[in-house]
Chains A and B, each alone.
Chain A
Amino acid sequence: MLEIKNLQKVYGIPGVSAKPALNGVDLSVGQGELVGLFGENGAGKTTLLKCVLGLLGYTGTITLDGEPVTRANIARLSFATCEHSFFPHLTPAGHRDFYREHFPRWREKRFQALMDFFRLPMGKAPRSFSTGQKNQFEVILALSQGADYILMDEPFAGNDVFNREDFYKVLLGILEPTETVVLSTHLLEEVEHFVGRAVLLRGGAVVGDTSVLDLEERGMDLMAFVKSAYGYEPDRVSRALDRLTEEGEEDAP
């Protein structure tokens, strides 16, 4: 169980240029869950994932099966980011050897199968890959690390729709019941059938947390849930247009 309690993160210098990014986040993610992390830009999704990984300092507590995240258990977490965390000059074969050494539960068979499926060359440095291929490679590494918790931050930014669809299908097919995925993305409709739970962040706090099954029972889709949690006003655009048209008429000579 990944447990986050009262997580707070402030960027900048307190009292001078402090900018709160996370404001008391409470979240529990059980093993085997597929969680979608949604929210507008600046909602705190990336910051939350980086705090979980220990890449950023924070106040509050983050535990993995009751233990704080340290070098002793960090290998239970993997991370795929659209910024790409692989070594750009190291070939996939080189990555395989390196990861095998540092992550004791490295999944050799899965790595090879995914590399074959996406037809990525083993001997070519990923810096020369296309954006789509780089994303694929990033996710392949995260899935092959042997982690219990796979954190993904907009992993498919730049991939075409067919490519993304393939990936979701493959993901659903290969994930074991004990593997947990926390996927941060803007592509609500696409992941609706992939995630089992949706967590919504706004202004650094959780403003919505529901299972997709609950939504279906309530006759709602993910987009409707997000809109309602965000207090989206459907007539906002028409009201703005009306106002603009009225102003235009007043301005006319």
Chain B
Amino acid sequence: MRQHKHLSLLGLWVENCLGRVLAQLGLMAALEIIVFGARLYLLPERPMEETLKGVPSLFMAGWIALFHLLTHCGDERRAVGCTLRRLRVSEGAALAWKGLFGAACFLLLWAVQTAVCLGMGIWYAAAVGPAYRSAQTVLLAFYRVPFLHSLLPLAETAGYLRNLLFAAAMGLETGLCSWRMRRGSRALFGRAMAVAAAFLFSQGMGGLTGSLWLGLGAAALAGLDALLALTYGEEGME
């Protein structure tokens, strides 16, 4: 069956990476559950934030690993650029599709992490004694613990917006990093941005204004990076 030439690009990234992305998310979730379970049974009757220790670090590691995986889908190789630059669509369009796929993967990471943390909350509420348990244990944990609140900001709309903008920025940066590596660059800006975003994403919100500024800042940086790359970086660094 004939596909649309643009959709075939999206299909290219999906077929290249999706299996490994899912495997990596599964591994991250499994490690987090093991760490959380071990703390829950070895150090019982502690507040949720203490039991959760180690999980935000694993999430950050998962974030950086996902970024690395997406920038190393095979399309970062210089010779592959010879094919990508001979297609019936522009390289800008290829970058946009890769960015879209990357953003979807980061949204998936957010969703998986939120689901895992919700599961952990329910598990915690069932395992601890009455001193730490109430009808609203899980809800209060997501309100009180900065890491959990950043995943599920409850009524704070700016928090969701920040997370969406972070995912979009990371998606675009994965495409840009591969684009730069195809031209012989090490794409250090994108990598630095991924590490900074991993840290900031797992932190507390900092209020409505702070969240919005963070999200808008990340998206603006990625957008500017893309503009500079597409304007000045057409030729390869051979």
What residues make up the interface of A, taking CB atoms closer than 8 Å to B? 11, 47, 50, 53-57, 71, 74-75, 77, 79, 81, 83-91, 94, 97-98, 101-104, 127
Interface-located stretch among B5-13, B52-60, B144-152 = B5-13
Known: A81-B79, A88-B77, A89-B73. A98 touches B86 (CB 8 A): no
B42 partner residues in chain A, CB cutoff 8 A: none
Question: A85 contacts B79, CB within 8 Å?
Answer: yes
Having A94-B15, A97-B11, one finds 19 other A-B pairs with CB under 8 Å, namely: A53-B86, A56-B236, A71-B90, A75-B86, A79-B82, A83-B78, A85-B80, A85-B82, A87-B75, A87-B83, A89-B15, A89-B17, A89-B73, A90-B15, A91-B15, A97-B8, A98-B8, A102-B88, A103-B88
Q: Most chain-A Cβ atoms within 10 A of its Cβ — which of B77, B82, B87, B236?
A: B82
Question: B3 contacts A101, CB within 8 Å?
Answer: yes
Bound state CA distance, A77 and B83, in angstroms? 11
Question: Closest residue to A79 on the B side, CB-wise?
Answer: B82
What residues make up the interface of B, taking CB atoms closer than 8 Å to A? 2-5, 8, 11-12, 15-17, 73-75, 77-83, 85-90, 234-236, 238
A50 to chain B, nearest CB (A): 7
Bound state CA distance, A91 and B15, in angstroms? 9
Q: List 19 A-B contacts (CB under 8 A).
A: A50-B238, A54-B85, A55-B85, A56-B238, A57-B235, A74-B86, A79-B83, A81-B79, A81-B82, A84-B79, A84-B80, A85-B83, A87-B74, A89-B74, A90-B15, A101-B4, A102-B5, A102-B88, A127-B74
Q: How many A-B residue pairs have CB under 8 A?
A: 82
B234 partner residues in chain A, CB cutoff 8 A: 57
6 nearest CB pairs, A to B: A83-B79, A101-B8, A88-B74, A85-B82, A85-B79, A89-B16
Question: A55 contacts B236, CB within 8 Å?
Answer: yes
A94 to chain B, nearest CB (A): 5
B77 partner residues in chain A, CB cutoff 8 A: 83-84, 88
A89 partner residues in chain B, CB cutoff 8 A: 15-17, 73-74
Bound state CA distance, A128 and B136, in angstroms? 52
B75 partner residues in chain A, CB cutoff 8 A: 87
